[in-house]
């Protein structure tokens, strides 16, 4: 069982220094490689923590370490280490994630489901991942909201200066969003909505690159623990998202 989820030596050579960097200020486990492979197993299978095979170690110990890293932001440290520089495009999009009933039940004293990026609609509980991805297919930034939150409301907080022209579909066609992007000194390559009397001309060749972010979301949802949300807290689910993004970047590191 563990062998099927073992990380290849050439990939571990990249991951090991990153884990050392991420843990330099906190307690360090004795079996980093086993811990990393255990998280990969949970991510890919979507299984409950208690079903983690004993070959990886005690599930409770691995869960506590995962949660500790999530609270400390260490998974994000790992992801950033694999970032490539020189991106010329910021590809903006979102996807809705179905939440399992086990994700419900956040304490009202701490803000309830809204604080934990959970929303309820006709289809049940959902979370939405809003993300900016580079043309290399690597995560730049993301935010979690309730599933019913409109895409355009998150655009300005996701788009920043120095990250290239912004490519998005017409769901992001807003005067405020376009003005914000252009104020950063880059182009807003966003098709106009059908109701506009005057439509903007866009670079169609560059716009075709939007398929990169769509493909990235597809790869991310290959991890069942991301494709369905089981976590009650936003921080734990965000940790799984960023870890899956790290593994996507790792597998495509030499592409």
SS (H, E, C) 42-74: HHHHCCCHHHCCHHHCCHHHHHHHHHHHHHHCH
CATH 3.30.420 domain span(s) along the chain: 89-232
pLDDT at 121 over 60: yes
- Give the pLDDT confidence score for residue 255 in this predicted structure: 34
Q: What is the pTM of this model?
A: 0.87
φ/ψ region of 219 (left if φ > 0, alpha if ψ in -120 to 50, else beta) reads alpha
φ, ψ at 66 (rounded to 5°):
-60, -45
Average the pLDDT over each of 65-69, 77-81, 130-134 and give the range with the smallest value: 77-81
pLDDT at 125 over 50: yes
First to last CA, the chain: 28
Name the average pLDDT for the chain.
86
Residue 15 binned pLDDT confidence (cut-offs 50, 70, 90): confident
Residue 75 binned pLDDT confidence (cut-offs 50, 70, 90): confident
**Better pLDDT: 108 or 203:** 203
**Better pLDDT: 123 or 209:** 209
pLDDT at 152 over 90: yes
| CA dihedral sign, ordered 120, 233, 90, 165 | positive
Torsion of CA 32, 34, 39, 44, to 10 degrees: 140
Mean pLDDT of 226-251: 91
- Give the pLDDT confidence score for residue 105 in this predicted structure: 66
pLDDT at 175 over 80: yes
Fold of the domain spanning 89-232: Nucleotidyltransferase; domain 5 (3.30.420)
Half-sphere exposure (Cβ direction) of 70: Cα atoms closer than 13 Å: 19
pLDDT at 58 over 70: yes
Rounded Cα distance, 194 and 191, in Å: 9
Of 3, 11, 10, which Cα lies nearest the Cα of 247? 11
Structure tokens at 61: 């110990």
- Give the pLDDT confidence score for residue 239 in this predicted structure: 93
pLDDT at 253 over 50: no
Structure tokens at 247: 């593994």
């Amino acid at each position: 069982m563990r062998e099927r989820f073992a990380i290849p030596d050439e990939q571990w050579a990249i991951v090991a220094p990153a884990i050392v960097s991420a843990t330099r200020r906190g307690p360090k486990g004795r079996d980093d490689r086993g811990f990393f492979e255990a998280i990969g197993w949970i991510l890919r299978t979507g299984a409950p923590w208690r079903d983690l095979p004993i070959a990886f170690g005690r599930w409770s110990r691995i869960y506590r370490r995962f949660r500790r890293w999530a609270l400390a932001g260490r998974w994000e440290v790992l992801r950033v280490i694999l970032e490539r520089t020189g991106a010329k495009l910021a590809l903006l999009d979102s996807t809705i994630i179905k939440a399992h009933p086990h994700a419900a039940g956040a304490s009202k004293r701490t803000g309830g489901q809204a604080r934990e990026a959970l929303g309820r609609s006709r289809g049940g509980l959902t979370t939405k991942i809003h993300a900016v991805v580079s043309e290399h297919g690597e995560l730049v930034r993301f935010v979690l909201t309730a599933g019913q939150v409109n895409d355009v409301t998150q655009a300005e907080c996701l788009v920043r200066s120095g990250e290239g022209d912004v490519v998005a579909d017409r769901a992001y066609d807003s005067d405020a969003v376009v003005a914000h992007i252009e104020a950063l000194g880059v182009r807003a390559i966003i098709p106009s909505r059908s109701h506009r009397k005057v439509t903007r001309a866009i670079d169609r060749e560059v716009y075709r690159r939007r398929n990169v972010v769509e493909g990235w979301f597809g790869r991310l949802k290959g991890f069942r623990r991301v494709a369905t949300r089981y976590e009650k807290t936003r921080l734990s689910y965000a940790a799984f998202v960023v870890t899956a993004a790290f593994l996507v970047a790792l597998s495509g590191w030499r592409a």
